[in-house]
Chain A
Amino acid sequence: MNFRTVTSGLALATLGMGFVPGIAVAETFSLWVRSDGSEFMPPLVEAFNAMGEHEANLQIVPVDELVQRYAIASAGGSAPDALSLDLIFTPAFAEAGQLRDMTEFTQALPYFGDLSPAHLSVGTVNDRIFGIPFSGDASFLLWNKDLYEQAGLDPEAGPTTWAEIEDQARAISELGDETYGFYFSGNCGGCNIFTFAPLIWATGGDLLSADGRTAMLNSDEVIAAIDFYRGMATDGLVPAGSQTDSGANFFAAFANGNIGISPSGSFAIGALNNNYPDLNYGVTFLPGQETGQFSSFAGGDNFVISAGTDDSKIPAIEAFIEFAYSLEGQKILVANGAVPVRGDLAAEVFEGLDARYLVSAEAMANGRTPYTTVFNDIINSRNGPWITMLNRAFFATSEDEMLKAIEDGQAEMQSIIDAAN
């Protein structure tokens, strides 16, 4: 870029500023969202900015890098003014003094009592509210109706037990021609806490005690669930690439249309409807071993404001929050795959939407969020005990090998928890 381009650019910029409608209170604030929100956040921000009063400047950050990027930006004094933060991280951020106290603003909202309690409970530290519910993300099963029809299965009825998943996956695999019954990302810790752990919860088991202090990986329910996946992998109902998929194909595998059943999450509804309108799919709960059992991961984002954000930007940020909570805002969020966080609007928000969105909301209502202060170390880490154990056990060639992997995983997870407490 030479000097002349710089100067003419500056001149243009100055001119441009002169044309901005002169509302004295108009403020621009920076806003981050992790890449999981790349379906619902841009349309929401676009609609907000189109109202012309304030402007939100959105940046989408890769999900794996959000915490470190925020920490670096914060240390350098350039933290975003606000962000939509994975609710798992709200307590850690708040305790580190990174977040602005939003108690007064939140409690004054007329619909405060109808906001998602799961979000609020992790957003509250020492009775002060630092993170408020923004978007919900539930996990469930997707099934490909066209493949069901080809395999002679009922395209309108998804599986309701583990045995049904396996039988139906087998029928679809028999279609051959690069078609597989089931898909999971076999080397992705985050994907599997989201979609595999609910299978354990649905049967009444758990991988951690309620206080997060004891690992319970060698319990019967965990072993049974792992053995269920291992059976499908061994029988070739799952593509070979699953073993080394660290999450890159978590969504794409099913979207390509040659997978019968795949566990997934709310974000997939928005992404499939927006980008793969021809894919004919159904949504059902992540089941247990018996009919009627089901569960989900209760995930999503809390909306937080950085501690260092200038007071002059607060009205604009609060206007954005109120817009997101309005019927229009909730409708945009829901139409793009997020589960709504305002209970009182649910009926109106879902009006005119297909039944798949309702499954997502119902799954969320029956969902769980594992509580642990070392979530990243034991669950999310690509080299942590959770995914190392699952990867070894899912693709073990013998039962002994599987049990050994589980035993090792249990010992390592417990030792990390003990070291942190």
Chain B
Amino acid sequence: MTPTDPTRDNAPPTPRKPRQAGWHGLFYVLPALVLVAVFFLVPLGMTVWMSLHDWPLLGNPRWIGTANYERLFSDTGFWNAMRFTAQYTVVATIGLLGVAMGLALMVQSQGRASSIYRTIYFLPVVTGFASASLLWAWLSNVDAGLFSPAAQLLGVTENRINLLANFDTAFWTVTIMVVWKMAGFYMVILMSGLQSIPTDYEEAARIDGASWFQRFRWITMPLIRQPFALALILCVSGSMLAFDQFYIILNGGPRNQTVTAVYKIFNESFVSFRLGYGSALSVVLLIILMILSAIQLRLLRDKGEAK
């Protein structure tokens, strides 16, 4: 993880018989290969196979070739869901990484107070998405929850406010919930990067009279590039796959405006019972995610590393 890994440059080259080492290596990675095959490649192959069928939840599948994929291109429901998912991903990623970076800067120092705050910020991460969603569904319920009376008490609104009944407030309620729940996770990733920066760089820059922002921009950011890339990719792919919170808190409402891509796949597969079509949508979503991740990796690759 550390960008200045001393062992990499300083260790003397060890003499090795390359052929033998190669076979040994395969043996060592075999367990991992088996796991990947069983839990990733086989299900992926099955999904692709199913996507080429008319596959009802109950009853017998029928081969239909690429008909599911042809249908998908004119399915406005799916592309609306993709557009909403992209919008949510942009907002959630900016919110999450912004807050996580702020928290990481606050708690990076060693010490008792820092470790207490670290624990507090991390706590929501260990709740499941479903239970966190249920909690927030209740908090934002207009008749029984806390947000509406709190808003009245603070004088923000005069009447009760049903946050979940219109798109803007509903969208922000869910997004804030996600930031509350997940920021601690990305904080830990970014913090590990911050702690690996040698303090002398910072001191040197300070002596040279660099401002806080200059130090952050020209020392901190370049040196946490790798953990930042990890956080970004996890955050984007996590948001692109969002489902629980929109299903539990909003049911895809109001007016079906918060149906995400995975929600659409769920509806096709388990409400309309079209597993084949649901699989085709999953395959397309997977391809989109792979492209997005590849672009991010390329953008964030350290120029020195790009050999």
Contacts and interface: CB of A to CB of B under 8 A. Distances in A.
A243 interface: yes
A361 to B, nearest CB: 32
Contacts of A96: 56, 58-60
B141 A392 contact: no
Interface stretch (A30-38, A284-292, A375-383): A375-383
B81 to A, nearest CB: 10
Interface residues on B, range: 20 to 34
A98 B162 contact: no
A92 B56 CA distance: 11
Contacts of A243: 162, 165
Interface stretch (A67-75, A166-174, A208-216): A67-75
Contacts of A97: 59-60
A336 interface: no
A95 B251 CA distance: 31
A381 B259 CA distance: 13
Contacts of A70: 58
Interface in B224-263: 250-256, 259
Contacts of A93: 58
A244 B57 contact: no
A67 B57 contact: yes
Interface in B29-67: 56-60
A239 interface: yes
A68 B143 contact: no
A241 B59 contact: no
A93 B273 CA distance: 12
B270 interface: yes
A362 B249 CA distance: 38
A395 interface: yes
Given A68-B57, A92-B58, A383-B259, A239 B254 contact: no
A246 interface: yes
A244 B164 contact: yes
A86 to B, nearest CB: 14
A382 B252 contact: yes
A388 B57 contact: no
A93 B59 CA distance: 8
A102 B250 CA distance: 42
A187 interface: yes
18 contacts: A68-B270, A70-B58, A74-B58, A92-B58, A96-B60, A97-B60, A241-B144, A244-B141, A244-B250, A376-B271, A376-B273, A381-B272, A382-B252, A383-B252, A383-B256, A383-B259, A383-B271, A392-B255
